[in-house]
Structure 1
Amino acid sequence: MCTEGRRGAAFRHKLLLHNMRPKQMLRLWFSMLILTLLLLFWFGVLITRDSPPATQNSSLRGYRRISPHRKTKFLDVHCSHCAVVSSSGQMLGAGAGDEIDRSGCVIRMNNAPTRGYEKDVGTRTTFRVVSHTSVPLLVENKQYYFKQSADTTYVFWGPKRNMRQDGEGIIFNVLLKLAVKYPKLNMYVMTQDKIEYCDSVFQNETGKNRMKTGAFLSTGFFTMILAMDMCDRISVYGMIDDNYCSRANHSDVPYHYYEQKRISECRMYTYHEFTQRGGHRFITEKAIYAKWATQHNIQFKHPAWKL
């Protein structure tokens, strides 16, 4: 009975289609087409709604927007040519300001100023990579950094204890308050996964575990990682190579161009390279950058490097 019933229903369906006028047939097929397209669109939304945009650089998903509304948004930018401006005293007298400002993106570090040093370091700041320890220095002059320089994108990094987002991260809480006060500011924080990735890069390049050696990666290291993530070509200004301080004729410049009466650059580098705990391995990092320059489009200026 069931088989005969199905055959009867099929026969009636064919008969109905046969008796339909051409216009009615056209309307039926058109309706079925629309329904099919709507179903395909719905399935497409389900599949892609949690996926990053096709043009999003996956490397930049290591930089998350600081938002008081806790909306997840990742850095999404691409620069054909970036100028990475060191805070080194090597920039004094470099006269590279106009050249730096002509770059597509200009990346600076921590609280390095431009005012009063425009001829040597330029005026534009597209990105500023900031250590957790330098956040208080920016807050002291928030009128300049967060109001007058509102077109700058900030990328902050720090250890989990200071940057945790459960209400216990002291530095992250400060940044969250700034995001509320200056809602138009573009502020991003390096994710914990990205920082751990940088640790693995250091270990792969040196064969040493960063934590076991008692070292901390420098802001310069994170800046170079960011530049390689988003720039096709990189010009680095004012950064010395790993052999510079061992040369007999090296020039003696301050560690920061804006702190001219402080310790010299080479003395600072030597101290950090060999201190047992809590130092930056500046000299080791420069050797890593030299290797990267053979693999990426990176050029060093003021002073120039012989790779």
Structure 2
Amino acid sequence: MKSLASWMVSSRQRVYWIFLVLISTLSLALWYNHVTKLDVTVMANTGLRGYIRITSGKKDQFLDIHCKECALVSSSGQMLKAGKGKEIDKLDCVIRMNNAPTVGYEHDVGSRTTLRVVSHTSVPLLLKNETYYFRQSEGTVYVIWGPERNMRQDGKGQIFNVLLRTAKKYPQVKLYAVTREKIQYCDGLFQNETGKNRMQSGAFLSTGFFTMVLAMDMCDSIQVYGMISNDYCSQANHTAVPYHYYEKGRMDECRMYRVHERARRGGHRFITEKAIYGRWAAHKKMEFKHPSWTEREKVS
């Protein structure tokens, strides 16, 4: 009888341990499933959090793009007769600004456009040719920046409302807005670099500034085309070119830069911004290909 009782106790212990193992396995499986789902949720919300999708669908979609080598192509008249089109198109991603065209200028500026950074003031220019920008070029990503009064999302942001209607009309087009927090971050960058509060100094950051910041966010290395150095216009032998390569007959680039640099209110500090880019280039994989800043330094 003692042997039988001992056997029964031993059996109960085995059942007990088997039960514990099953419970532990089930708990581990539930934990793993929870973690896996959590990881998927986190992955779905990754991306560049300063740039949010403009859509009538799911909110809080951030720009998710990464490129090894980027061509950042300025709208400057420096690109006329540059002959850099093939060189630009060979890079992984090509970044352009506002409504700068490629058709008819392919030899100089290339034909590919991965992403455009667009000022709130240039949105109407895109809509004037919406068939080209939002149908023929639907693979392009558009990142729009603007002040809070125009980009607010409570129904009172005039430009944001226009962009939201555009997103509904062309749901396949990727439209993103620079967030208020990112614009404040860019203001902070400007102040850190210059010691001046942007708003108090009466300056507006240029589309080029927002484009450069985004390029540093999304690219491992950047090759810049069309941007002149901060001392270019002070050189006696500098070349006079149009402010934009696609707008002939307007004020030349250096004169436009000087007017804005001296403006008490509402000016872009183009020359100051170029000095900032030069300092960033010393710490980033950034090269100014045309005009070449290094070649000009050798000459001067």
TM exceeds 0.5? yes
Q: How does 1:235-250 map to 2 (within 5 A)?
A: 235-250=223-238
- Is the 1:83–1:103 Cα contact (8 Å) retained in structure 2? yes
Where does structure 1 differ by over 4 angstroms across 4 or more consecutive aligned residues? 14-17, 24-27, 45-50
**Residue 53 of structure 1: how far off its partner (Å):** 3.0
Q: Are 1:298 and 2:294 counterparts?
A: no
Among candidates 10, 13, 19, match of residue 18 of structure 1: 10
Secondary structure of the 2:292 match is: coil
Alignment match, 2:3: none
- Residues of 2 paired with 1:247 and 1:184: CA distance? 47
Q: Are 1:130 and 2:118 counterparts?
A: yes
Q: How does 1:1-307 map to 2 (within 5 A)?
A: 18-20=10-12, 28-41=19-32, 44=35, 52-53=42-43, 56=46, 60-306=48-294
Secondary structure of the 1:208 match is: coil
Give me the TM-score of the superposition, normalised by structure 2. Answer: 0.91
Alignment match, 1:7: none
- Residues of 1 paired with 2:179 and 2:238: CA distance? 38
CA 1:154/1:54 → structure 2, altered by over 3 Å: closer, same or farther?
closer
- Residues of 1 paired with 2:244 and 2:256: CA distance? 10
CA 1:20/1:157 → structure 2, altered by over 3 Å: closer, same or farther?
same
Partner amino acid, structure 2, of 1:19: S
CA 1:55/1:292 → structure 2, altered by over 3 Å: closer, same or farther?
farther
Secondary structure of the 2:293 match is: coil
Secondary structure of the 1:183 match is: coil
Give me the TM-score of the superposition, normalised by structure 1. Answer: 0.89
> Which residues of structure 2 form unaligned runs of 5+?
1-5
CA 1:37/1:273 → structure 2, altered by over 3 Å: closer, same or farther?
same
Secondary structure of the 1:210 match is: coil
- Is the 2:99–2:118 Cα contact (8 Å) retained in structure 1? yes
CA 1:69/1:16 → structure 2, altered by over 3 Å: closer, same or farther?
farther
**Residue 45 of structure 1: how far off its partner (Å):** 6.7
**Residue 36 of structure 1: how far off its partner (Å):** 1.2
- Is the 1:17–1:25 Cα contact (8 Å) retained in structure 2? no
**Residue 140 of structure 1: how far off its partner (Å):** 0.5
Partner amino acid, structure 1, of 2:64: D
Partner amino acid, structure 2, of 1:82: C
**Residue 77 of structure 1: how far off its partner (Å):** 1.4
1:71-96 CA distance string (max 9 Å, x none): 21111111000000000000000000
1:232-283 CA distance string (max 9 Å, x none): 1100001100001111111110000000111100110000000110000000
- Residues of 2 paired with 1:19 and 1:220: CA distance? 77
1:173-200 CA distance string (max 9 Å, x none): 0100111011111111110000000000
- Residues of 2 paired with 1:15 and 1:292: CA distance? 79
**Residue 101 of structure 1: how far off its partner (Å):** 0.2
Partner amino acid, structure 2, of 1:53: M
Partner amino acid, structure 2, of 1:18: S
Number of corresponding residues: 290
State the Cα RMSD in Å. Answer: 2.3
CA 1:140/1:54 → structure 2, altered by over 3 Å: closer, same or farther?
closer
- Is the 2:103–2:111 Cα contact (8 Å) retained in structure 1? yes
> Which residues of structure 1 form unaligned runs of 5+?
1-13
**Residue 33 of structure 1: how far off its partner (Å):** 2.8
- Residues of 1 paired with 2:103 and 2:161: CA distance? 29
1:16-61 CA distance string (max 9 Å, x none): 8733496x567524521332114423663797687x439945xx11
- Is the 2:45–2:62 Cα contact (8 Å) retained in structure 1? no
